[in-house]
Structure 1
Amino acid sequence: MHFSYESLPPPNKILTAAASVAASIILLKSIVNDLVPPQFHTFLTSSIKKLSTKLTVVIEEFEGLTSNQMFEAANVYLGTKISPSTQRVKVNKPLKQEELSVTVDNNQEIIDFHDGVKLQWILLSSSIKRATQGNKNGNQKTELRYFELSFHKKFKDTVLKVYLPYILRKAKEIKEEIKTVRLHTVDYNGTDYWSSVVLNHPATFDTMAIDFDVKKEMIEDLNRFVKGKDYYRRVGKAWKRGYLFYGPPGTGKSSLVAAMANYLKFDVYDLDLREVQCNSDLRRLLIGTANRSILVIEDIDCNVGMQNRETDSPAAEDKITLSGILNFIDGLWSSCGDERIIVFTTNHKDRLDSALLRPGRMDVHLEMSYCTFNGFKILSANYLRIEEHGQFAVIEELLTKVKVTPAEVAGELMKSEDADTALLCCIKLLSDKEKIQSKTQYS
């Protein structure tokens, strides 16, 4: 069959015909509206909706004045589901986060699949006018955002009971992965007595110069703690855990705190008790800390002596007391939050009051001792990138005779990038310490 453009009617006739059809449709609709009773319209519309297999769930951004956690979770989750065909995305840089955040934009459809169920997401918005004081027009436009989630209605229970809770959990994991760990310090000018900076400390459990078994036990204990929400609730205890790191200076107590923070992605709150004015301030500081955080009280032995202050001193009432510290870490105020870790450090464990040392306040006692040969091998791998060397036997023998901190060993290994030179510096340090300690022993 031969087709030719010449066989088509002129364009003006085509437009005339199209207009005639459109007019006929409008006329027919008008006649139907006039002749068919309104009750039948409602019935017909309702019947069509009942025949539809599609169900739509609406998730608004706010519930009154409160943020809707489901909306926030969906926004985070769908940011990881954006397909190459998506035409528009939104990118922002949160104030306390180093990485960019990608989310969907308005009217961009996202298709997701979960356990074989097809789910269609779309972000929509509408504007409403709200009455406001001080506005000349008497009202102000506000944008209301909401997600519409559509799926086959036979999967209603699966979506509501399985899929949406899954999104809440997944969004939490995503936020923790991209979270920037921050270091908070006391700031009485702040709204909650704290100010913060990004914690860029590179310490990890892999780089810590402590024995493998100690690391393993520490990591297992932390993992049990973060997974223990139901357990702590069942036994009726606040979801918190206390650690005491004790040992001589330079053994890595502060670095271990940083390693814990980097491992758990917990913020660190550094509390210097000497800066705290009174017990009530101590409570305010605790309330100001966030969930999933590590509160650090360093050199607790230097501050715990405050319970021996003379009670008749005029300034005594303005200072924190031992009972204030105990209530702070194990009283009713300590339950104002979840998933919190409190770390105490000291150079002299024997100086601490036994009331501080008991379980529930300091659950785990970890001695940060002098450098062992296993610790030295970790340091040499970190600084020199070597795992074996001819001088290792000499260093291993010396480490059984002298007491040297990991910080001192690291200082020698940093003196040269050449392994031979750095190890000779380390051997000299250990040999000199052996001579000094021998003289002290026999003097």
Structure 2
Amino acid sequence: METLFRRIEQKTDNLIDSREPIAQKVMEEMKQFWDVSDQYRKFGYLHKRGYLFYGPHGSGKTSIVQQIVQFVIQNDGVIFTVDDPHALIWGLREYRSIEPDRKTVCIFEDIDTIVEKREKEGALLQLIDGETQIDNILYLATTNYPEKLDKRILSRPRRFDRVLKVEMPSAVTRQAYFDAKLTPTNGTNIDEWVEATEGFSFGAMAELVINVKCLGIPYEIAIADLKHRQEKKPSSDEFSRGCLGFRDR
């Protein structure tokens, strides 16, 4: 028999509390959602809800999703990560026959890549708003390219009820990140790191910590290199000279 589901361990460095209002707001809304199932049924609606997070690479969408995953698991819920809506349709029916009331969240990371194939897009629409809908469930999706999504997914309520833009990490988020990774010892000025990394992605902040604290590269060189790579697309000459790492200084 084909295996539709397999247990995976949560291995990520994105479980830092970002202190971003969007993450806290969504988790508060989720608490309310799980508490009002009777109200949905009273008015004749399926108890389901969808969130779509969009924003540029490295803005923190995955970090928000991972915080939500941790929140759901801590509240005895179940998470499904999805790349094939066809398999999920059948699997969720079987799962719901065993766990009819358990808190359940399905995650579609990079949903634009999932719906590139027409048959998968059709299965997804059937799952979230068609004949194969499942009751008592919440859907989360992320994308870097909302412009690639059909309006049937992006704009129609009751498919993704909340469409939320995730900006690049704010000063509050960068402070939380560096507070979790660094200690203000050995000359580390966390406030300076926060100010210098405006516009940085989570990946760039991680690279800065690794370069300075793990590899021993001087902070001034590491931060200058990351800013150079972020602000300027490398020229063909830089590619040919292999200057995509640290520049000669």
TM category (shorter chain) comes to: 0.7 to 0.9
CA gap 1:425/1:406 in 2 versus in 1, 3 angstroms: farther
Distance in 2 (alpha carbons) for counterparts of 1:380 and 1:394: 8
* Map of 1:302 onto structure 2: 113
2:10 aligned with 1:212, yes or no? no
Match of 1:327 in 2: 126
Correspondence for 1:50: none
The range that moved more, 258-267 or 288-297, is 288-297
| Residues 1:375 and 2:173 aligned together | yes
Aligned: 1:271 with 2:82: yes
- Report the alpha carbon displacement of residue 380 of structure 1 after superposing the two structures with TM: 0.6
Structure 1 residue aligned with 2:61, among 243, 246, 253?
A: 253
Contact 2:50–2:138 at 8 Å: present in 1 too? yes
Q: 1:286 aligns with which of 92, 97, 112?
A: 92
Deviations 1:25-64 (A, max 9, x none): xxxxxxxxxxxxxxxxxxxxxxxxxxxxxxxxxxxxxxxx
Structure 1's 212 and 404: CA in aligned 2 closer, same or farther, altered over 3 A?
Answer: closer
User: CA–CA distance in 1 between the matches of 2:72 and 2:182?
Assistant: 28
- Equivalent residue number for residue 204 of structure 2: 408
Is 1:189 aligned with 2:25?
no
Q: Which one has a bigger Cα radius of gyration?
A: 1
What secondary structure sits across from 1:196 in the alignment? coil
Tell which has more relative contact order, 1 or 2 (C-alpha 8 A, sep 6+): 2
Aligned mates of 2:64, 2:51 — CA distance in 1: 11
**Aligned equivalents of 1:370 and 1:245: distance in 2?**
13
Give the secondary-structure state (helix, strand or coil) at the position aligned to 2:58. Answer: coil
> Residue 397 of structure 1: CA displacement?
5.8
Q: Name the aligned partner's letter for residue 189 of structure 1.
A: E
Q: CA deviation at 1:430?
A: 4.5
Q: Distance in 2 between matches of 1:330 and 1:435?
A: 42
**CA offsets, 1:247-298, max 9 Å, x none?**
233333333322212112222212113xx6xx5x452133244531221122
What secondary structure, in the 3-state scheme, does the structure 2 residue paired with 1:305 have? coil
Question: SS state of the match for residue 259, structure 1?
Answer: helix
Question: Is the 8 Å Cα contact of residues 398 and 430 (structure 1) preserved in structure 2?
Answer: no
Q: Report if the CA contact (8 A) 1:413-1:426 is conserved.
A: no
Amino acid of the structure 2 residue aligned with 1:293: T
- Do 2:105 and 2:140's aligned partners in 1 also have CA atoms closer than 8 Å? yes
Residues in 2 aligned to 1:197 and 1:435: alpha-carbon distance in whole angstroms: 37
Cross-structure match for 1:238: 46
Aligned residues: 224
Q: 1:238 to 1:422 in 2, by over 3 A?
A: farther
Maintained 8 Å contact 2:175/2:190: no
Letter aligned with residue 412 of structure 1: L
Instruction: Give me the whole-angstrom Cα distance separating, in 2, the residues matched to 1:249 and 1:435.
Output: 15
Q: Which amino acid aligns with 2:2?
A: N
Distance 2:107 2:72 in 1: 15
C-alpha displacement of 1:386: 4.4
Residue matched to 1:227: 35
C-alpha RMSD of the superposition: 3.3
Superposed, which structure 2 residues align to 1:84-99 within 5 Å? Answer: none
For 1:330 and 1:267, locate their aligned partners in 2 and report how far apart those are by CA, in whole Å.
21
Between the aligned partners of 1:405 and 1:325, the Cα distance in structure 2 is 30
Q: Work out the CA distance in 1 between the residues paired with 2:94 and 2:45.
A: 21
- Normalised by the size of structure 2, how large is the TM-score? 0.74
Would the aligned equivalents of 1:409 and 1:426 in 2 still touch at CA under 8 Å?
no
Taking the TM superposition and a 5 Å limit, the aligned residue runs for 1:18-417 are 189-190=2-3, 193-199=4-10, 201=12, 203-204=14-15, 207-209=16-18, 212-265=20-73, 266-273=77-84, 279=86, 281-290=87-96, 291-307=102-118, 320-335=119-134, 337-338=135-136, 340-357=137-154, 358-386=156-184, 390=189, 392-393=191-192, 395-396=194-195, 399=198, 403-417=199-213
Q: Secondary structure at the match of 1:256?
A: helix
Identical aligned pairs, as a percentage?
A: 22
Q: Structure 2 CA distance, aligned partners of 1:395 and 1:264?
A: 30
Q: CA deviation at 1:218?
A: 1.9
Change (3 A) 1:282 1:264: closer
**TM-score, length-scaled by structure 1:** 0.44
